[in-house]
Structure 1
Amino acid sequence: MTLSSHLQELKRKHRVLSDAVEEAQRAPSTSDVEIADLKKQKLRLKEEIERLSH
């Protein structure tokens, strides 16, 4: 896998997590802990994308 394709995949996963966070925040059955976990995963991906981009 090339660096470019790896970055694209990380960005795709970040978008998917972003959508999941938004959906979880709208769902009353989702706990704050679950939302926080999704946000942490999203942040890890963002940091990895930034690290690989520079």
Structure 2
Amino acid sequence: MKTIISITIIFIASLFISSCSVIGGIFNAGMSVGIFLTVFFLAIILFIVLRFSKRKE
């Protein structure tokens, strides 16, 4: 039940933040920092998805 609540909170939070404004803010900080943060967040999301998918088996 906790995982469903956590996923719901993350999903709702992502709906309130416009992806264009987030990406724009990241790349205003600098191209290298923006690339690093983008890769970092994608890795975290991938890690979370893989971790939850293994628990279902």
Aligned letter for 2:54? R
Instruction: Tell me the alpha carbon deviations over residues 2-53 of structure 1, each in whole angstroms, 9 at most, x when there is no partner.
Output: xxx24312x2465378x37x35323332511011101100000000110112
> What are the within-5 Å matches in structure 2 for residues 1-54 of structure 1?
5-8=1-4, 9=6, 11-12=7-8, 15=11, 19=14, 22=19, 24-27=22-25, 28-30=27-29, 31-54=34-57
Which structure would you say has the larger Rg? 2
Q: Which runs of 5+ in 2 are unaligned?
A: none
Give the number of equivalent residue pairs.
47
TM-score, normalised to structure 2, is: 0.54
Give the CA RMSD over aligned residues: 2.8
Aligned letter for 1:37? F
Q: Which runs of 5+ in 1 are unaligned?
A: none
